[in-house]
Each structure stands twice: as structure tokens, then as C-alpha cells.
A and B are shown apart, each in its own frame.
Chain A
Amino acid sequence: MTSGADEMEATRTRLISGPGILLVWLYGVMVVGAVSRSVYQIATEFDRAPLAYSLSAVAGVVYGFITYTLVRGGETARKAALVCCAAELAGVLIVGTWTLLEPSAFPDATVWSKYGMGYVFIPVLLPVSALYWLRKARTEQQVD
């Protein structure tokens, strides 16, 4: 690692410039959506669909972490966000498929049910665009 790279690390790669700001906004919306939904459902009717509500809560936490790393910026945060987005994508795909194959396990919907259909498919589109953006952010940094 050269001193130039150190300097870059000190100023932190900004991950929220340009299209990044849109990602932060959408992730922010999903955080509010998933967290408030799961808090309410776990507090009032957890027994009805424990698996679905727990998964919504996990989704909310993952969204929260990604939002934080995007806002914070920097190379470490970028890598952490990459890992989380990949995990999120895997989560959406697994839970989405699961809800289609075995609807009986889910008496109520989660954020990730049917690949996020209840949320205009934002849950499945978001990680894909975020992964693209995060990879692009690194390439641009190297070009500088």
C-alpha cells in the first residue's frame, strides 16, 4: 500500500456521491419499513408467524448496517457493505424461493416474501444495484 492509498483511506472514499445518494435513500426507506414493521409485529402478534417476523427483523438489521457503512464511507466500509449486500441478495433469493415452495411456513408475509413483491421488488433490485455501485466505486478510486 502506497502513501497515496493511505491518504485516500484518511479522506475515506465517498460512497454516497452520485448514484450512491439514491442507494442510501432507498436503503433508509427499507430500514424504516423493515424495522418498524418487525418491531410492531413481534411486539403484538409474534406467535402467529415467528419465522416471518424474525426474518423481517434480520432484514431490517442488515439494511441498517448497509446504510451506515454507505454513509460512513472508506475502503473497509465498502468491503463490509459488499459482503452485506451479497448476504442480502442471498437472503432475498433464499427466502423468496422458500416462500414460493412452502407458503405454509409463512402464515404472514416478510419483507423478502416472493422476492420482495410487496415492496415493488425493491428488496431484490437494491442489492444488485448496490453491488454494482460498490464495485464501480473501487474501480474509480484506482483510476484516480
Chain B
Amino acid sequence: MLDALTLATGVAALLLAAWCGWAAYRDQPTKDWHFIGMAVVSVLALVQLVIGIVQLARGEKPEQGTTIFVAYLLGAFACIPAAGFMSLAERTRWGSVTVAAGGVVLAVLEVRLYDIWGG
């Protein structure tokens, strides 16, 4: 369950990165649709956070330690909203680039989460 969610979030994050990268390429700021996309990815990360904590509460142990696991879950959840707010402050193509970078960072975090949980 968690692995499937990790994969889904990672893929969604990369799609978001590509989408915002495309906007940046066309010299556009992030628009409403991009923010809906960010919301979808953030909800995925939130669901992942909740399910991760439920798994911990049920007594399952991440391979590389509970603290690191929770820290990465929190980081993954905060990643896209933080980038989103920054793109609100910067209404140029560079706001789009920032969200695209956020998507890539989230994808990297998901890969790490997969390792930490122990595949």
C-alpha cells in the first residue's frame, strides 16, 4: 500500500515538474490549473504521511529508522506547498521553474522514502 502510494506520488511529482517546466519554457507564470495540480500532488503526499504514521502505529518498522522515515514524510508533504507559495510571490516564469524544481525534489524524496521503508 505504502509502496504503491510512494510510486504514485513520485510519478505525479515528476508530471507536475514537467508541466511547470513546460510553462516556464513558454515564459508563463503558474496559473490556476497548476495550483490544482500542486494541490493533487500535495494531497497524495498528505495521504502518504497519514498512511505512513498508521503503519508505524500498527507496529511496523521502517528499515532505516522511524525518525528518518517521519522526517522524510514531513519533508515530502511540505515540499510542494512551499514551492507553490514561492511561485505566488514570483509571478514570472521563474515561479514556474521553482515549482518544477520542487517536483524534482519531491521525486527524489520519494525514492529515498522507498529505500528508508525498505522496499
B100 CB to nearest chain A CB (Å): 9
* Interface 1/0 per residue, A26-42 and B, CB below 8 Å: 10110010001000100
* Interface 1/0 per residue, B97-114 and A, CB below 8 Å: 110011001001000000
Closest to B108 in A: A120
Within 8 Å CB of B67, what residues of A?
40, 44
**Contacts A28-B82, A29-B105 given; does A22 touch B68 at CB 8 Å:** no
Query: How many A residues touch B, CB cutoff 8 Å?
Result: 17
The answer to whether B102 touches A18 (Cβ under 8 A) is no
Within 8 Å CB of B38, what residues of A?
none
**Contacts A17-B90, A18-B92 given; does A25 touch B75 at CB 8 Å:** no
Tell me the number of A-to-B contacts counted with CB atoms below 8 Å.
39
Q: In the complex, what distance in Å separates the CA atom of A1 from the CA atom of B60?
A: 65
Within 8 Å CB of B105, what residues of A?
29
**Contacts A26-B101, A40-B68, A40-B71 given; does A21 touch B108 at CB 8 Å:** no
Interface of B is mostly: helix
For the complex, is B95 an interface residue (Cβ under 8 Å from A)? yes
B38 CB to nearest chain A CB (Å): 14
Q: In the complex, what distance in Å separates the CA atom of A49 from the CA atom of B25?
A: 44
The answer to whether A36 touches B94 (Cβ under 8 A) is no
For the complex, is A19 an interface residue (Cβ under 8 Å from B)? yes
Binding site for A on B (CB under 8 A): 67-68, 71, 75, 79, 82-83, 86-87, 89-90, 92, 94-95, 97-98, 101-102, 105, 108
Q: For the complex of A and B, list the 6 residue pairs with the smallest distance between their C-beta atoms, beginning with the closest.
A: A21-B90, A25-B98, A22-B98, A18-B94, A22-B97, A21-B94
Could you jot down 20 A-B contacts, CB within 8 Å? A16-B89, A18-B90, A18-B94, A19-B94, A21-B87, A21-B90, A21-B95, A21-B98, A22-B98, A22-B101, A25-B83, A25-B86, A25-B101, A28-B82, A29-B79, A32-B75, A40-B68, A40-B71, A44-B67, A120-B108
